[in-house]
Chain A
Amino acid sequence: MSIIQVEGLKYKYPDTDQLALDDISFEVKQGEFIGLIGRNTAGKSTLCFALSGLVPHFFNGGYGGKVFVNGLEVRQHEVGDIAAHVGLVFENPFSQMTASKYTVFEEIAFGLENMGVERNEMITRMDESLDLLDITSIKDKHPFDLSGGQMQRVAIASVIAMKPKILILDEPTSQLDPQGSEEVFKVVENLTKEGITIIMAEHKIDKLAEYADKVALIDHGKLIDFDTPAKVFSRDDLPDYGITAPTATRIGKALGIKDSKTDLFPVTIKAISREIGDKL
């Protein structure tokens, strides 16, 4: 069974005329890493909101179709209930801090306190999250005393401690320096090993090509393509959607290197070297 199921999802923000999401359908299996790509205003954030229940519960507006996450129909449940199944992390690490706690450890407790998790269980889960995100060493620091990359990992840990089956990340690295971005990608890869399903909107195409099992291409609220990175990045019309293919794909195209099994262009440097290695 699919852990995420979206059927004919349509959505329009209040007081707007255009559909922000236009008849979107797709399914995701447990443990998959899905990359979400598309130009600015394509509808990536809106889709992330729809998967976490903020659309339609927080943003209101016109809504049609159905979204199921871990068996729950999003429209029928409150955001707080969905939070136990779906975690959401977004761009700005700073505004994800509650601004009401004095240490990273207490910051991570916030969601668990709200959900009424018993104290011992709370501490066990928090220690696990600290470990998973590699931030145990900063647990006594003030949340505002951290670097962007550290703060973003605290934001992820806060959400992971709530034990969601699905983690949605909306451009989590776009305000981080290269080192901070690298840290975030590393821990997200770690999470997939824990069986957590990942949906990640991201502009760093090379990184997505490396980590994603599938890529969803969105434009003007429509799902243009939903397939393996190799298939999606082989499309000739990517520039029409404001997307530049991964470096490896462009090199492959320029040099005429294709994956011998799939007859598609490579999406990672590793795939290129494999092909060249085979030929040599």
Chain B
Amino acid sequence: MSTMTLYVDKKSFIHHVAPLTKLLYVMVSIAITYIIPKLEFVLFVTLTSLLILAIGKVFRKILPILALSILLIISIIIVQGFFHPENQTVLYSIGFITFYKEGLTFAALLTLRVLNMIMSFGILILTTKHDELVEDLIKKGMSPKIGYVLLSVLQLIPQMRATMGKITDAQRSRGMETEGNLLVRVKAFFPLIVPVVLNSLHNTRERAIALEVRGFNTKMKKTFLNLSKEYQYTKTIQSILWAILIVTIAWRILS
């Protein structure tokens, strides 16, 4: 079960915050890093997101994604560090490579924004049941079709894995080696991936039919199996988030 979703089922204060409140946090925390482009401030916001991840007991789950984004971050630092148009103040040079203060500051700002973006989305995705989030959005007026697309995208990985398992079984039953050392597995992988992709394309069309005959396109008002959960502090937290947004905007306008 746990492998079928990105949601991490733990008990924490963050898990007990309403899904839409967390969504609001994502939007506000990303927005303010653009409204106030000051390094110290963005660092503070990023550290806040990090702290929330830790309180939600999901900090370790975000590490692989952060690791993946390292490449992006390094390229930001190199490109901005060398080539930022406002580069003036030389920080230091190694051989013919020169780092400028302006470029590096800008690179740090971009990096922190990216990190904050990943981490705040991480808070939402890792500590919230996806179907609950989507159903809350539908109840707020989002189209059920968009809701379906969101949920099914979040299920792509388990879905691919299930297809992959089915096809591996089929290939094994036809005598193909699918287990063993790396070389054997790599050899087995390519004939595997083609049917997996073709299969998903075919499935999409059939699935459209299956959804259709289960009334996906009726204009009737939807009902929900899952009851809306009661959350505490929703009003308080949301008000604080809105206040933060307004204050940053005001600060930006006034300064």
Contact = CB atoms under 8 A, between A and B. Distances in A.
Interface of A: 52, 54, 58, 78-81, 83-84, 86-88, 90, 92, 94-102, 105-106, 109-119, 122-123, 141-142, 144-145, 148, 155, 158-159, 162
B215 interface: yes
Given A100-B151, A106-B225, A95 B210 contact: yes
Nearest to B161: A144
A83 B206 contact: no
Contact of B223 (A81, A95, A119, A142): A119
Interface in B157-207: 158-159, 161-163, 166, 202-204, 206-207
A164 B190 CA distance: 43
B225 A122 contact: yes
Contacts of A101: 131, 151
A133 B60 CA distance: 42
Given A96-B207, A116-B222, A144 B217 contact: no
A54 B214 CA distance: 12
B236 interface: no
Interface string B205-225: 011011111111111111111
Size band of the B side of the interface?
35 or more
B6 to A, nearest CB: 12
A54 B6 CA distance: 35
Interface in B127-174: 131, 144, 148, 151-152, 155, 158-159, 161-163, 166
B212 A54 contact: yes
Contacts of A94: 162-163, 166, 203
Contact of A80 (B204, B218, B221): B218
Given A101-B131, A102-B131, A122-B225, A81 B218 contact: yes
A95 to B, nearest CB: 4
